[in-house]
Amino acid sequence: MRIGLIAMSGIRAADPELMALGLTLPGVVERSRVVASMPSLSLLTLAALTPPEHELAYHEIDDLRSAGELPGGFDVVAISTFTAQVADAYRVADHYRAQGAIVVMGGLHVTRLPDEAAAHATTVIVGEGELTWADFIRDAAAGRAAARYAPPAGTYFDLASAPIPRYDLLDIHRYNRLTVQTSRGCPHRCDFCASSILLTPGYAVKPVENVIAEIRRIRELRPGAFIEFADDNSFATRGHYKRLLRALADEGVRWFTEADVSIADDPELLDLLRESGCRQVLIGLESPTPAGTGGIELRRNFKQLRQPDYAAAVRAIQGRGITVNGCFILGLDGDDESVFDAIHDFIDRTDLFEAQLTVLTPFPGTPLYDRLLAEGRILEPAPGTSARCST
Amino acid sequence: MNFIPRRMTPAALRQGLIDLARRVYEPGFVQARRERFFETLQRNGVRRNRGLVADDASAA
């Protein structure tokens, strides 16, 4: 079969007026470009799990409006996307289905709203794609692809089995950053989080030697590449990550990851971060106020518990020469209009190197979405959800 | 925005975002923070590596 891997993971401005009013500022555009310029690690991983008799082609659509003519001639088209671009992804799915291709969709959004995706895709893969991709490919090649593939309940992918993603499918020199996943999941349960905790409830790490092998493969293809760990929360298992950081120190890489504020508690970890080439950590601070951080993290109120330490943590991390990209969520239930000045003040007094501002977004499948839906506070419920029926 | 905020109006949230983004990403404010960051490193004897800025992909 000829398989097209179509990545659609750019950032979309849902409110053109907001863009016109000022969100074309350099800082916003800069981070948008970084996110949009990273390849789809999920598709490259599935490519590595595809038997060699099939032909693979990787194609990215940054913006469907300016994408021009889509590549054709595929027997199977696999589309990976996020909620922000899912409407465009469905148009692409419709396009390829009309051409007679088998269209398979997966990922976080599709996993939570498989019926919505089924209106456009021939096949929907629910959950971690590594677990069912081989079955899908076998069935598609035999002309009997099912409408839906999902792993048995309670089955999760072992990252020790993860293949090296097919970075060789990329026009690799066009990428500013290349991604490596070192862990999946998060020990916290923030109500808004629509990341890998929607796929796996636990926290799993990839063995150190596998991570190093992936980085070496990237650097074979693109020497000097900047590496972004595609993790939701690195360093949750300290012993493992200290081993990884010691191994990384010998590789001479520059890298970025996402973590939580607790890394600042561990001076040895911070030293290892510095020595291993870490340039920036992104931390979800969410709000600089006790009220704003209250109740966000559902297990032990982690964010509110740690909010008093935020400023000292930023200083401790940045004091090692590692910049912090601090993320704030606007519109949290505990915050009133005073939060805008509070955020500006926090950024100013901590010399926060980069800041990311996001409006609270209730993604389907999250506890936040279900709660706001029950309270009648969702303006446009996702298809298939209503105040009586949570996702 | 696809929800009704609890402690401010949707219009106040939207305007607050715009005003805060203008302030936070204002080039002079960004530059001042970065200069202070580098000054702190220098004061503490922490070496400033090339490529310290995450997206300086050309740095060695």
Stronger pLDDT, A195 or A144, i.e. the higher one: A144
| Chain A environment of B52 (Cβ under 8 Å) | 279, 321, 323
Q: Over pLDDT 90: what percentage of chain A?
A: 78
Nearest Cα residue in chain A from B53: A279
Domain with CATH 3.20.20.70 in chain A: 176-360
Output the CA–CA distances (angstroms, integers) from residue A87 to A90, A99, A101, A335, A352, in the order listed: 5, 19, 19, 31, 35
pLDDT band at A174 (very low <50, low <70, confident <90, very high): confident
Check whether A240 has a pLDDT greater than 50: yes
What is the structure's pLDDT at A254? 92
Stronger pLDDT, A90 or B48, i.e. the higher one: A90
Please report the number of interchain residue pairs, chain A to chain B, with beta-carbon separation below 8 angstroms. Answer: 127
Q: Residue A117 and residue A92: Cα distance in Å, rounded?
A: 12
The C-alpha angle A23, B23, B8, rounded to 5 degrees, equals: 80
For tokens 């980085």, the residue is: A215
- Which sign does the torsion angle of CA A76, A81, A85, A90 carry? positive
**Among partner residues A321, A336, A355, which is closest to B8 by beta-carbon distance?**
A336
Contact B7 A335 (CB under 8 A): yes
CA A321 to chain B, closest CA, distance in angstroms equals: 7
Check whether A381 has a pLDDT greater than 80: yes
Check whether A22 has a pLDDT greater than 60: no
> Which CATH number is A176-360 given?
3.20.20.70
pLDDT band at A382 (very low <50, low <70, confident <90, very high): confident
| Chain B environment of A343 (Cβ under 8 Å) | 20, 24
Q: Residue A296 and residue A334: Cα distance in Å, rounded?
A: 9
User: Which is nearest to B48 in space by CA: A318, A171, A55?
Assistant: A318
Task: Name the region of A116 (left: φ>0; alpha: ψ -120 to 50; beta: rest).
Answer: alpha
- DSSP tag of A159: G
For residues A236-257, give the mean pLDDT: 96
Contact A340 B16 (CB under 8 A): yes
A352-386 in b/e burial notation, b at 16+ Cβ within 10 A? Answer: bbbbbbebbbbbbbbebbbebbeeeebeebbeebe
Check whether A387 has a pLDDT greater than 60: no
Check whether A18 has a pLDDT greater than 70: no
Stronger pLDDT, A331 or A194, i.e. the higher one: A331
Domain with CATH 3.40.50.280 in chain A: 2-149
Strands A323-330 and A354-359 turn out to be parallel
What is the structure's pLDDT at A83? 84
Nearest Cα residue in chain B from A360: B1
Q: Residue A163 and residue A167: Cα distance in Å, rounded?
A: 11
Nearest Cα residue in chain A from B34: A353
What is the structure's pLDDT at B55? 45
For tokens 């692409």, the residue is: A92
Q: Residue A109 and residue A363: Cα distance in Å, rounded?
A: 8
For residues A350-362, give the mean pLDDT: 93
Check whether A273 has a pLDDT greater than 50: yes
Q: Which CATH architecture has domain A2-149?
A: 3-Layer(aba) Sandwich (3.40)
What is the structure's pLDDT at A164? 98
Check whether A21 has a pLDDT greater than 70: no
